[in-house]
Amino acid sequence: MKSSETNKNSIYRVQALERALDILDCFTFQKKEISFSELVRETGLNKTTTKRLISNLVGRGYLKKDPNSKHYRLGLRLFELGGIVFSSFSLREAATYPMSYLRDATGATLLLGVALEDQLVYMDKREGNGMIRISSEIGWRRPLHYGMLGMVLMAFQNQKDVERILRKYPLKAYTSFSIVEKRSFKGRLSKIRKDGYVVENEEAVEGIMGIAVPVRDYSAQVVAALGAALPIAERRTSEEIEELLDLLIRACNEISENLGYLKTGNASSYPKK
């Protein structure tokens, strides 16, 4: 037996999941809508099993039944998941030059994060010039309310989701400056939505201040947050912080434009590669 066949057969398989995926695999560009009888025929499953699996797939949004034709087509949940995959790859590509330029121009550590499964996930990072290193590596997950990136991402969630996430991951004191009272935290989110950015001082990591701004995609939805982390000990003036915020906003505008977001007015004015 060939090694590829051995590896394939050694994979632990869940029959119900395999059958559900067989149903989804029936759909192609040529077959966007399929009847129940066709699904039974193409999968080789009996009618009872097919009906049960379809019911679950419809309930979770992976399939949708046309009320007129009674045929099934792929649901919006698959579109959403595909969008997440597309954004994950295109986001890092879109952010590559702006993040590198901003790091070189400011010396700050740059962090790029997204909201995934109610958590903050770090997608990219540029290490700054300072002696202090931020222990947030690519792929790491934290509660969605964590730090500058998390607050920006939560600020643009709807209120129902904010409540749900805070129940799932209660606020926690990471430092003595962390906001742990829910009403105060929600007030902070409201201010971030209004201002379009956040400046936090040692709320996530002692000795570190952070400035973060939202990134939008072609649909104008906030899909990521870009933040700059700096040692408090550097004691930057308010004018220097304003300048860094301006550069950060321009970088986020550049990334958003790369993702297809169209905005009137000035976007980024730093040199292009």
The residues spanned by each domain of the chain are 13-74, 81-258
pLDDT at position 20 over 90: yes
The CATH architecture one would assign to domain 81-258 is: 2-Layer Sandwich (3.30)
List C-alpha distances in Å: 72 to 23, 48, 107: 10, 16, 54
Band of pLDDT at residue 128, cut at 50, 70 and 90: confident
Question: Tell me: the pLDDT tens digits for 41-55?
Answer: 999 999 999 999 999
Tell me the two tokens of residue 159: 């209120």
Q: What is the mean pLDDT of residues 222-250?
A: 89
CA dihedral of residues 190, 197, 139, 273 (deg, nearest 10): 150
Same fold, 13-74 and 81-258: no
The predicted structure's pLDDT at residue 8: 45
Residues 6+ apart with CB under 8 A from 123: 88, 91, 92, 95, 112, 113, 114, 138, 224
Q: Which helix (H) or strand (E) holds 42?
A: helix 36-43
- What are the tens digits of pLDDT across the range 181-218? 999 999 999 999 999 999 999 999 988 899 999 999 88
What is the pLDDT averaged over residues 84-93? Answer: 74
Reported CATH class of domain 13-74: mainly alpha
What the block records as the tokens of 243 is 């300048």
The answer on pLDDT for 16 being more than 50 is yes
Q: Which pLDDT score is estimated for 3? A: 42
Q: What is the pLDDT of residue 14?
A: 87
**How many residues are given for the chain?**
273
pLDDT reported for residue 238: 85
**How far is Cα of residue 38 from the mean position of the Cα atoms in its chain?**
37
